[in-house]
Amino acid sequence: MRSAKRERLERAGWKVGTVRQFLGLSEEEEVFLELKLALARSLRERRARRGMTQAQLARLIASSQSRVAKMEAGDRTVSLDLLVRSLLAIGTSKRELAQIIAPRRAA
């Protein structure tokens, strides 16, 4: 956030901080949450790029459309294992999976 915007919000009485501060997360919890959301976002994007519906993906992984929707939303009930297995099921390579988990930062 730009400093001018931050200052304007703080003058208006808003508290400005990070998601970690707002939710009271430990560093490990923050990293876990970011990882899960990155996998969920990637699953949604890759499924859509392949022209698959949530129902088609659900059939492929022997699950339900509603479960796929929860996976793509990063629902807390969805395991990392299921996200990874689903990404592999739609053809994500191990190299691509590594890129999702640890993207290279632009220098």
Q: What domains can you pick out in the chain, each with its CATH number?
A: 3-101 (1.10.260.40)
Using CB atoms within 10 A of its CB, is residue 93 exposed (0-12), middle (13-18) or buried (19+)?
Answer: exposed
Tokens linked to 84 = 């990874």
Half-sphere exposure for 55 (CA within 13 Å, toward CB): 0
pTM value?
0.79
The pLDDT of residue 87 is: 98
Q: What percent of the chain has pLDDT over 70?
A: 97
**Average confidence (pLDDT) over 36-52:** 97
The position carrying tokens 């632009």 is 106
